[in-house]
Amino acid sequence: MSINTPALERKSRNLIVTGGAGFIGANFVHHWCGKYPGDRVVVLDALTYAGNRATIAPLEGKANLRFVHGDICDRPLIDGLLKEENIDLIVHFAAESHVDRSILGPGAFVQTNVVGTFTLLEAFRQHWNEKGQPDSFLFHHVSTDEVYGSLGPEDPAFTETTPYQPNSPYSASKAGSDHLVRAYYHTYGMPTLMTNCSNNYGPYHFPEKLIPLMCINILLGKPLPVYGDGQNVRDWLYVGDHCSAIDAVIHGSKPGETYNVGGNNEVKNIDLVHKLCELMDELAPNLPVRPSKQLITFVKDRPGHDRRYAIDATKLKTDLGWTPAQTVETGLRQTVEWYLANQDWWKPLLSAEYQDYYQKVYATC
């Protein structure tokens, strides 16, 4: 659900979507192009391991979409795109985003998430100034609830005023980017917005993440690795709901605002895995192991593993009328059905590099 400017009043926009071939970014590109066909959408993506151009391939034949293979740290490239495409909106998804990978190699996270965001902010600030600082310009930064740290079992959910306490190189790098976005609004008056979301799931999710990993490993008859005791709690947000929330914030809020986006679906990891096993047993024919819960394998917990995340999205509901459309039950069913129907999308991603990474993280499997 979202509240937007009425169609007759809305002016078309020229936007860059960074990380638009990644999981959330690509879903957002599909959402935006479907809803606002008169807008010019430039997808900028470095196509690192988690970026997949095939995800947006159905849109590339449209006259209003342009794909650019490039890095957000490339200032001349960014400057050129802003001018050439007359950009008035940046929606910034591009990020290194997997905690396990940030533990193995934190440098890439600082470079992309901090330096890359700084590069975009500086380029957009110059572009905004050269255009006379129009009110219509906007820089929307997409962040994570992980910047807030970890909650105890009885702690209240994260709000927009919860102090930052990042516990991994990934969340620390995202916290740094958040602070830069805030600073550019307060120091330069540059029109920025920020959303901090809970764990996303849905179509086009790279196989290393928990939900697609479980679905794919069940289909392959491989162990289902669960960290520690499996009692870690996450608030699960269907990616389509996240896209509608960002849409609502862009169209309905004022610069300088921050909104938390959650799915109202707190679930323990082990319970989530059991739900996926039940769905796969129901929906997938000819599984190599049935019931698939036999594949659950507990592995050594990762360092600094936050115990619980929970989002309080009251502000978003109160200010803009947004609430998630999917429950964890409806969203998971749609997600499992998508992975069963789109094996030609995910099978090529199980590369030698992916297998090497998998062995480093889940050595006991």
For residue 37, give the 3-state DSSP assignment.
coil
Nearest CA-CA partner of 283 in 335, 221, 207, 209: 335
Q: Is 36 a catalytic residue?
A: no
Q: Is 306 a catalytic residue?
A: no
DSSP state of 278: H
Catalytic residue among 45, 146, 235, 257: 146
Cβ–Cβ under 8 Å, residues 262 and 310 = yes
Angle between helices 210-220 and 269-283 (to 10 degrees): 40
Rg, C-alpha atoms of the chain: 20
Catalytic residue among 170, 185, 204, 339: 170
Angle between helices 328-341 and 269-283 (to 10 degrees): 50
Q: pLDDT tens for the chain, 365 residues: list them.
A: 544 444 447 899 999 999 999 999 999 999 999 999 999 999 999 999 889 999 999 999 899 999 999 999 999 999 999 999 999 999 999 998 778 888 889 999 999 999 999 999 999 999 999 999 999 999 999 999 999 999 999 999 999 999 999 999 999 999 999 999 999 999 999 999 999 999 999 999 999 889 999 999 999 999 999 999 999 999 999 999 999 999 999 999 999 999 999 999 999 999 999 999 999 999 999 999 999 999 999 999 888 888 999 999 999 999 999 999 999 999 999 999 999 999 999 999 998 888 887 788 876 65
d(C-alpha 138, C-alpha 195), whole Å: 13
Domains and CATH numbers, the chain: 14-202+236-265+305-326 (3.40.50.720)
**Edge-to-edge strand order for the sheet containing 65-69?**
65-69, 40-45, 14-18, 89-92, 138-144, 192-197, 258-261
DSSP 299-333: EPPPTT--SB--B--HHHHHHH----S--HHHHHH
Q: Which residues contact 140 (CB under 8 A, 6 or more apart)?
A: 89, 90, 91, 92, 192, 193, 194, 195, 246, 249, 250
Catalytic residue among 71, 145, 241, 266: 145
Q: Is 145 a catalytic residue?
A: yes
